[in-house]
Structure 1
Amino acid sequence: MGATSVLMKENVRKKNTGIEFQENDINVLIEIASRVIAPLWPISTFAARHPWMGLERQSFDQVAAWLKETHDVDIYPSVSMILSAKEKGEIDEAFVKLGLQQWLDSHSFTISRCVLERFCHRALKLEPLPNSLLSSQQLEELVDEYCERNASSSEHRPTQPVSFRIRNQHGERLVNILDYHVIKWCKLYLDESQAGWSMPNRKEGFYSAWRRLVQYDPALSKKQRDRLKGLPNEANKALQEVLFALKVPISEVQTYLEGHLLSLPGWAGMMLWRSKQSSHEQALLTEYLAVRISMEWALVQPYLPLTNQQSENKIATASLIASWLHWVGLTTEEWSQLSSVKQNEYVMFARSFDEKLCKKIWLEAWEQTQLDRLRRQISSNKCKTKDKKTSLAQFAFCIDVRSEPFRRQLEKEGSFETIGIAGFFGLPIATSRLGSDLSHPSLPVILKPQNTVKEETGQKELQSYLERKQAVHSISNTFKTMKQNVLSSLLLPELSGPWLSLQMVLRSFMPRRTGHLIRNLRESWLRKPNTTLSLHHVHNQEESLPIGFSEEEKVNYARNSLRMMGLLKDFSPLVVFCGHGSQSTNNPYASSLDCGACGGASGGFNARVLATLCNLPEVRQALSSEGITIPENTVFVAAEHNTTVDELHWIYVPDLSDDAQKAFNRIEAILPRVSQNANKKRLAQLAHLQKKLKNPNAVAHEFAEDWSEVRPEWGLARNAAFIIGQRELTQNCDLEGRVFLHNYDWKQDESGDLLASIIAGPGTVTQWINLQYYASTVAPHYYGSGNKVTQTVTAGLGVMQGNASDLLAGLPWQSVMLSDYEAFHSPLRLLIVIQAPKDYVEQLLKNDSIFREKVQNGWVRLASIDSEGRWETW
């Protein structure tokens, strides 16, 4: 980031007109610069997004310092969050003191240790310096004297884009005006569903379409439009030309591009994502930068060349000197009597031990406290290994943190074993619902589907169902068409007003009953027939992916999924694969409450596919020949855990054996109580429901159906750890819905391949989820998406605040904050705990350089527990 490109130094050639890039240089620099943003998926296929995924080769601390310096974005928890956590007892101050001593021990200073400790202890109180001191005449004189002696020692600051440094005659920063124009053009180009008229010449590409239309943009002055008329036809040539016109030094081009990408990381992230989806848009990010920097050149040209900007060095130096006066008790006379060398040492120390470092020490102490308490909780767990043969049923749940409380309530009700596995159940599939021509990838976005599975039914039933479905869609499409047409939109309120008014009143005052009624009416009208799945391979050259599975694939997927959950023997009569989904009304973030990994896809379809595969006689026979013997009376079924109402819904129940039927009846009897208890615990955490509830299930359903509810559930807020080990390790622990749980038995993984697979797949996904919640909490103005109440869904892609903001990539305020002033989510980096011998973890770190880099650079934390219960941190 911002470093001089070696490639650029080698491939620069001079001409009479100045310095130019060779043909491929600009594309290489854009590729490198794009690491500072992350791809942004459309909100309808919401997936957890780690905003710093391209920067993990640098340490968390380095990225934090760079973002603060270049964009004033602080990715450490705020002072108020730290102090609130301290008051709640979430931070053991002994770890703060230990962190300070370790930092001091790792550095060498000429200032005496006792003086440094006094300074640091006061700094760690995170109290602001008094305004009376900062504005005093005495301090100003000390600062002037110091700066005169050290005029040439000011720190180098990275080059910012020109528009960041200019204000117009009204005092408005030109970058804000530039952002306004860029947002407008991005919305026009990327719109997929909302605009009545699409952008002219859109098929020619973003840059070409913009270049043609911008000449008629009334929001620009005639002079600004004239400047843009002569731009080259190709985006990369235009980008080179305007960078040269702006006199951006070769060594600063990468930094310059990074600055522009970070100005609107949401829209830039969407362009990056689109560029990776299709071959005809591969250069979309280049086109985006060409449009943006060309417009910057048109806006800033009257202000060039820039005059020297006023240095901020004095303001920064004033706070550094003031900190010594206020925290250590130096008088102005004592400061003046210090030699210039000594003053420099004091200032340099204060600059290094700044607020950012203080917050780093506090964050690490917070994380260490959480680790220590989890260690003590697990170490005191006296759960004995269950005899799995006596289990009535086995339930495989998604590792999602919301599954943990439900699993605990289920285990309390009888001899039930619960298992944690990634919610797509290891099936790399795209799913196609009955009557749909489109398929949806139903797996983590870091993977690509290998097969398509479709819902099927008889031809007669399908035709009848499609006719009913088409009738519903026709009404919806007619309404949308009338709304977007100039003339029909005038008539629409008269036609739709009575129905929509009645619906509004009923949904507002009786949300649960109304939602239930509307859903029943829709289901009664559609009457979806019973379906089967296209599991058997069908050769179809028109499809991009194979439909169904080959015989070998059926066995491989079943074996690998069972192995991943450690279910290779001691099968219960009933095995339940539980996907998970959610339920909410009028919620643009509805898909974010489904599987956080699978692009907004619920896991029920995958659960049904796997259960059906495991019930196939040919699959069982093949598994038996490999030593995985499934008893004849064992039946696999599929269900879905609705996390908004904490209910389990059956979605595939074949004919059951007598033993499986007994287990099924027992489960049916206890599920209402499990839901009631789980909802009671979960709803108590919601800010406006911290009271005793007579009927938690009814309240949960009301939240799910209420179209004014901004927080139907907390989602994955407060996630903090990922435990990879046997269920007995945590079974009696109340983990408060904060921990991802994945089953793992190192004794069945001699090669360590299974552990490596868990880390590479679910480990990556949980880290992405964790850091998205982290970023949306510590920097909501930059990485979050603001208040749900004031959001605008735009272009069918995502949300904005108002009609001209960045495309907001993160989570809304209501997903992470308890109130306007108090965070609900604790911004802690993910702690991964592996139950395995030390040498297993060492082998993992040795073989997986990407994971090793994440641990070493502070993007995740790692601990392990061996067979003797000894903990090791890495």
Structure 2
Amino acid sequence: MSVTSVLTKRKLKKKDTNKDVQQRDMNDLVESASRVIAPLWPISTFAARNPWMGLEKQSFEQVASWLKNTRDVDIYPSASMILSAKNKGEIDEAFVNIELQRWLDSHSLHIPRDVAERFCRAALKLDTLPSNLLSSHELKKLEEEISGLHTDRVENFSMQPISSYIENQEGEGFVHILDHHVIKWCKLYLDESQAGWTMPNREKGFYHAWHRLIQHDPALRKNQRQCLKNWPQEAHMALKQALISMEIPESEIQTYLEGHLLSLPGWSGMMLWRSQQSSHEHALLTEYLAVRISMEYALIKPYLPLNNKRLEKKVSITSLLASWIHWGDLSIEEFSQMSPAKQNEYLTFAYQFDERVRRKIWLEAWEQTNTDRLSEKITSKHRATNNKKSALAQLAFCIDVRSEPFRRQLEKEGPLETIGIAGFFGLPIATSELGSNHSHPSLPVILKPNHKIKESADENELKSYQQRKQAVDSLGRTFNTMKQNVLASLLLPEISGPWLSLRMVTRSFVPRKADRFIRNLRENWLRKPDTKLSLNYVHDQEAEIPVGFSEEEKVNYARQALKMMGLTENFAPLVVICGHGSQSINNPYAASLDCGACGGAAGGFNARVLAALCNLPKVREVLATEGIEIPADTVFAAAQHQTTVDELHWLYVPELSEAAKEAFDRIEAIMPKVSHNANAERLAQLPNFQSKLKNPKAEAHRFAEDWSEIRPEWGLARNASFIIGQRELTQNCDLEGRAFLHNYDWKQDESGELLANIIAGPGTVTQWINLQYYASTVAPHYYGSGNKVTQTVTAGLGVMQGNASDLLAGLPWQSVMQSDHEAYHSPLRLLIVIQAPRKYVERLLNNDSAFREKVQNGWVRLASVNQEGRWENW
């Protein structure tokens, strides 16, 4: 095959050989290559992301092997993590043996089974090969004697950027120089708030703005600037020319683009996300690659062409020989006396049973141990259950793992029933708070809002509130404007210094009092009036989405939420819809603690909307005709569970019936004890919590209000399972805050539609959260974001380490690690447990090909509990 671009080799009809077709073809190649990265949301609207969402048609094992070969990124837990889990009793070694036997059975062995087993068992101890053995004279001599027989054993690698293989005269790799340049241009183009001067020609797109400025970049040499001066004006043509100039073979173009996307997966992920948000930037990822690969060509042009030495790497047999001597109980002399064919068989077996396979076996044993222990908990026959008919109140919480301990503590204190449902409560809305001209989506990022809900107030009160709010906002804008202005910034420290110094001192030494004072001062000044919600449909031709709901939509959303909760009968006098949010100071990842699925939107607003809908007489009348009869004395209220302090804050409490008032008073009475116990349980897991403290509530508030606290809470760390079933299945089980809990009654789901919706929505979200934590734990250098203390918030978009790193896409070290050497999060793939007959699960797998792929390819694990209470692994 000749060395040329795919575009010049593709046979096109004469009428198709035009710019539009070429652009479409290049964009198609870029879109195919983008499967190796995931969209990255701005950190202010943080959303958990599955970094491998585009690779799920391949097995987890295949992706793990590919990443190790192409990027040297290992996505199996490290040996130290595995051994730590083993020492803590989290792994039953009986399952290690089961997984080993399964692996041996799946491979054709050319050596005796007992010899293979002995070797594997010794290697599974995960100790390292002795350095004195690897460097011994005898081993090197043996290697020289037999090396000629094994030179054909190579590992093939996907195409990497050519700049990865070239160094400049100072010994610095060109790929690192290229990354530095690309990061600079990405920051300039994507900046949302930090730059004093915006990038010229930014409105014309990334490539055009770069192309106008690159000719004057003093960071490049004159010949490099000259090379790009007459470069094509269009991004797709520039990308095409760069690929042709570097002689990238047709068969490797997509892989070559993938290599460049994986070089800076954070910045490229942000470009991918932006390209999906508007038609104006739909080709942004193509522009990004055009900039990057054009710059690569300019940097390495003097070194072209290269020999094709980068495509394979021979495997050294030193470690293979040493492994047989160390783990196989063979001497060097015994190995040297083998026939060449036998030697090759032994070395091939050692090559197959490599470190990645060993850690895969341990991971699967770890996961199976967790599955086995969970099944013992929730299939126990000696567990008391609540009587739904006697529940004084029913409280619906988000499925978030942080809700589980709080729900458990609530249920201990009285006849209360708790329910699990996705925390946006099925409402596809964007919310607009009082006095704001802007709205933000309040639902998982995988969905788009269909309605806008506004807060409103009495006109006179609203006008006064807006004036006060404008004064506060103007002060902030003025401060930021002065910071960015060259002259004003010289005066700013003199004006703001005393106040900021005082604030710094008080927040450092008396954080709770300082934060409470500042918060009270703001609230007292603003004095937000009582508000109403715009639930009724308003016709607005200028609005992108309608304001409010039609009468039919009100009923539909109320019905849908009640069915998803399994709450269609036996209503308690008080039903509380509980959103969740958090509070922390000086925390770039604050949005991740509010909701990891909804882009940092807390669930309280949605809770208030749903409660208001369910209280509407007309909605209740229609629901009653469908068999969902809500008693007249049943009242819906809304609250928010503050996860950092484990408190329940009331958001909407309408006029209560006598029975509902009794329930409300009971919840208020027990809440201090519930909060105390939940805080004590949760805070005990934090590494710097002092167990001797007698007031967990005060300590929880300190964590939330101290601006030097790098770990206000654990978030969703240690999440491991998603249980879909009735609360009776898990009631009185201590699930350790590790389980997402969603109510589901298969008896009310004859068609299977409810289960399908739970898997497609919350099931996807929980998997994303699980793999976000998994990736940030096993490969923190690539998928995490490092130490919070050394992070730099950049461009108003995200964090970097230093001033020229990738845009870090994952969780910080403090979200997953107990200490520098001890992981807190257990990197286990999500176990989905469905309480339903086998035929329900079979129907789900048959109808949902995407979910079936996830299960078959090892991205999630699946189990079910049938109507007799028997557990089955799938």
Q: Which TM-score band (shorter chain)? A: over 0.9
Equivalent position amino acid for 2:10 in 1: N
Deviations 1:268-314 (Å, cap 9, x if unpaired)?
00000000001010000000000001111111112222357599856
**Contact kept in structure 2, 1:381 and 1:732, CA below 8 Å:** no
Matched, 1:867 2:867: yes
Equivalent position amino acid for 2:321 in 1: I
Q: Who is 1:246 aligned against? A: 246
Give the secondary-structure state (helix, strand or coil) at the position aligned to 2:327. Answer: helix
Alignment of 1:441-590 (within 5 A): 441-590=441-590
Rounded to whole Å, the distance in 1 between the matches of 2:610 and 2:551 is 14
Give the secondary-structure state (helix, strand or coil) at the position aligned to 1:731. Answer: coil
**Contact kept in structure 2, 1:381 and 1:729, CA below 8 Å:** no
Matched, 1:11 2:18: no
**Contact kept in structure 1, 2:863 and 2:873, CA below 8 Å:** yes
Equivalent position amino acid for 2:480 in 1: K
Matched, 1:100 2:91: no
Shift of 1:628: 0.7
Equivalent position amino acid for 1:689 in 2: F
**Contact kept in structure 1, 2:151 and 2:314, CA below 8 Å:** no
Deviations 1:3-33 (Å, cap 9, x if unpaired)?
x999989835899xxxx99553322221111
Rounded to whole Å, the distance in 2 between the matches of 1:426 and 1:820 is 40
Deviations 1:655-688 (Å, cap 9, x if unpaired)?
0011111111111111011001100000000001
Give the secondary-structure state (helix, strand or coil) at the position aligned to 1:689. Answer: coil
Rounded to whole Å, the distance in 2 between the matches of 1:310 and 1:528 is 64
Give the secondary-structure state (helix, strand or coil) at the position aligned to 2:178. Answer: helix
Q: Who is 1:624 aligned against? A: 624
* Farther off after superposition, 127-136 or 248-257: 127-136
Alignment of 1:788-867 (within 5 A): 788-867=788-867
Q: Who is 1:281 aligned against? A: 281
* Farther off after superposition, 115-124 or 75-84: 115-124
**Contact kept in structure 2, 1:645 and 1:704, CA below 8 Å:** yes
* Farther off after superposition, 648-657 or 142-151: 142-151
Q: Who is 1:396 aligned against? A: 396
Rounded to whole Å, the distance in 1 between the matches of 2:289 and 2:381 is 56
Equivalent position amino acid for 1:146 in 2: I
Q: Who is 2:222 aligned against? A: 222
Q: Who is 2:614 aligned against? A: 614
Rounded to whole Å, the distance in 1 between the matches of 2:85 and 2:371 is 15
Give the secondary-structure state (helix, strand or coil) at the position aligned to 2:438. Answer: coil
**Contact kept in structure 1, 2:683 and 2:689, CA below 8 Å:** yes
Matched, 1:86 2:86: yes
Shift of 1:389: 1.9
**Contact kept in structure 2, 1:718 and 1:825, CA below 8 Å:** yes
Q: Who is 2:169 aligned against? A: 169
Q: Who is 1:785 aligned against? A: 785
Rounded to whole Å, the distance in 2 between the matches of 1:199 and 1:542 is 30
The TM-score with structure 1 as length reference comes to 0.97
* Farther off after superposition, 489-498 or 374-383: 374-383
1:588–1:688 distance in 2 versus 1, CA, 3 Å: same
**Contact kept in structure 1, 2:154 and 2:314, CA below 8 Å:** no
Q: Who is 2:118 aligned against? A: 118
Alignment of 1:149-160 (within 5 A): 149-160=149-160
**Contact kept in structure 2, 1:44 and 1:591, CA below 8 Å:** yes
Give the secondary-structure state (helix, strand or coil) at the position aligned to 2:157. Answer: coil
Rounded to whole Å, the distance in 2 between the matches of 1:244 and 1:678 is 62
1:143–1:24 distance in 2 versus 1, CA, 3 Å: farther
Q: Who is 1:655 aligned against? A: 655
**Contact kept in structure 2, 1:40 and 1:269, CA below 8 Å:** yes
Q: Count how many residue pairs are aligned between Structure 1 and Structure 2.
A: 867
1:249–1:472 distance in 2 versus 1, CA, 3 Å: same
Percent of matched pairs sharing the same residue: 72
Rounded to whole Å, the distance in 2 between the matches of 1:647 and 1:764 is 28
**Contact kept in structure 1, 2:433 and 2:439, CA below 8 Å:** yes
1:235–1:22 distance in 2 versus 1, CA, 3 Å: closer
Equivalent position amino acid for 1:638 in 2: A
Equivalent position amino acid for 1:11 in 2: R
Q: Who is 1:378 aligned against? A: 378
Matched, 1:761 2:773: no
Equivalent position amino acid for 1:446 in 2: I
**Contact kept in structure 2, 1:431 and 1:454, CA below 8 Å:** yes
Rounded to whole Å, the distance in 2 between the matches of 1:826 and 1:381 is 28
Shift of 1:793: 0.6
Deviations 1:469-517 (Å, cap 9, x if unpaired)?
1101111111111111111111111111110111011001111111111
Rounded to whole Å, the distance in 1 between the matches of 2:91 and 2:772 is 22
**Contact kept in structure 2, 1:383 and 1:729, CA below 8 Å:** no
Rounded to whole Å, the distance in 1 between the matches of 2:649 and 2:692 is 26
Shift of 1:56: 0.3
Rounded to whole Å, the distance in 2 between the matches of 1:560 and 1:690 is 45
Rounded to whole Å, the distance in 2 between the matches of 1:125 and 1:173 is 38
Give the secondary-structure state (helix, strand or coil) at the position aligned to 1:577. Answer: strand
Equivalent position amino acid for 1:603 in 2: G
Matched, 1:46 2:46: yes
The TM-score with structure 2 as length reference comes to 0.97
**Contact kept in structure 1, 2:405 and 2:736, CA below 8 Å:** yes
Equivalent position amino acid for 1:57 in 2: K
Rounded to whole Å, the distance in 1 between the matches of 2:295 and 2:313 is 31
Rounded to whole Å, the distance in 2 between the matches of 1:44 and 1:558 is 30
**Contact kept in structure 2, 1:554 and 1:613, CA below 8 Å:** yes
1:10–1:249 distance in 2 versus 1, CA, 3 Å: closer
1:690–1:617 distance in 2 versus 1, CA, 3 Å: same
**Contact kept in structure 2, 1:215 and 1:226, CA below 8 Å:** yes
Shift of 1:463: 1.2
Rounded to whole Å, the distance in 1 between the matches of 2:272 and 2:24 is 19
Q: Who is 2:324 aligned against? A: 324
**Contact kept in structure 2, 1:147 and 1:314, CA below 8 Å:** no
Equivalent position amino acid for 2:524 in 1: S
1:186–1:472 distance in 2 versus 1, CA, 3 Å: same
Shift of 1:691: 1.6
Matched, 1:196 2:202: no
Rounded to whole Å, the distance in 2 between the matches of 1:273 and 1:484 is 28
Unaligned 5+ residue runs, structure 2? none
Give the secondary-structure state (helix, strand or coil) at the position aligned to 1:90. Answer: coil
Q: Who is 1:354 aligned against? A: 354
Query: What value does the CA root-mean-square deviation take over the aligned residues?
Result: 1.9
Shift of 1:331: 2.6
Shift of 1:437: 1.1
Matched, 1:689 2:689: yes
Q: Who is 1:366 aligned against? A: 366
Rounded to whole Å, the distance in 2 between the matches of 1:30 and 1:528 is 49
Q: Who is 1:260 aligned against? A: 260
**Contact kept in structure 2, 1:11 and 1:25, CA below 8 Å:** no
Rounded to whole Å, the distance in 1 between the matches of 2:141 and 2:236 is 52
**Contact kept in structure 2, 1:721 and 1:833, CA below 8 Å:** yes
Deviations 1:45-79 (Å, cap 9, x if unpaired)?
11111100000000000000000000000000011
1:391–1:23 distance in 2 versus 1, CA, 3 Å: closer
**Contact kept in structure 2, 1:189 and 1:206, CA below 8 Å:** yes
**Contact kept in structure 2, 1:13 and 1:22, CA below 8 Å:** no
Give the secondary-structure state (helix, strand or coil) at the position aligned to 1:216. Answer: coil
Equivalent position amino acid for 2:735 in 1: L
Equivalent position amino acid for 1:753 in 2: E
Give the secondary-structure state (helix, strand or coil) at the position aligned to 1:44. Answer: helix
Deviations 1:517-538 (Å, cap 9, x if unpaired)?
1000000000111100000000
**Contact kept in structure 1, 2:39 and 2:270, CA below 8 Å:** yes
Rounded to whole Å, the distance in 1 between the matches of 2:690 and 2:86 is 22
